[in-house]
Amino acid sequence: MAFVHGRHTYISLAGDDLSRPTNTSTLDQESDEHDTTGYGVDDYTVQGGLLKGAFSMGGTYDSGATGPKAVIEPLIGTVVELIRRPEGTGSGKPEETVDVLVKKYTETNPVAGMITWQCDMTKSGPITRTSQGA
């Protein structure tokens, strides 16, 4: 079994590297479910349908020109490319590329802590999985 530390994760949204201000990310993949149950049975039967998914990421607020607020806010409501490298950058490591609808950007301002941010996106089309080249 090969374990991989999450700190190596790379994330790019619309060509902008957001790895540094990001400290959490989630990829959620699922299928539609269609009820195919007929009369005379005691249990449901189901079939899968279209695939769908969501992606979210968040971290510590950065007010710089290339920080998450400056990058993400103008993208809300648009479909852009997301690149995710769950094992980091390097030859032979996995890379996932997918178009996403940028749905929501949220900032949280705690009285006794750092400002944080969160971005929610919906997958638009298939995820392309490749190995990174040299």
73 Cβ partners below 8 Å, 6+ apart?
A: 105
Spell out the domain ranges in the chain.
6-29+47-129
CATH number of 6-29+47-129: 2.40.10
- Predicted local confidence at residue 64, as pLDDT: 85
DSSP β-bridge partners for residue 123? 100
In this structure, the chain runs to a length of 134
**What does pTM read for this prediction?**
0.89
Question: What confidence tens digit (pLDDT) does each residue in 100-120 have?
Answer: 999 999 999 999 999 999 999
Non-local CB neighbours of 123 within 8 Å, separated by 6+ positions:
29, 52, 53, 54, 55, 98, 99, 100
Rounded distance between C-alpha atoms, residue 50 and residue 48, angstroms: 7
End-to-end CA distance of the chain: 25
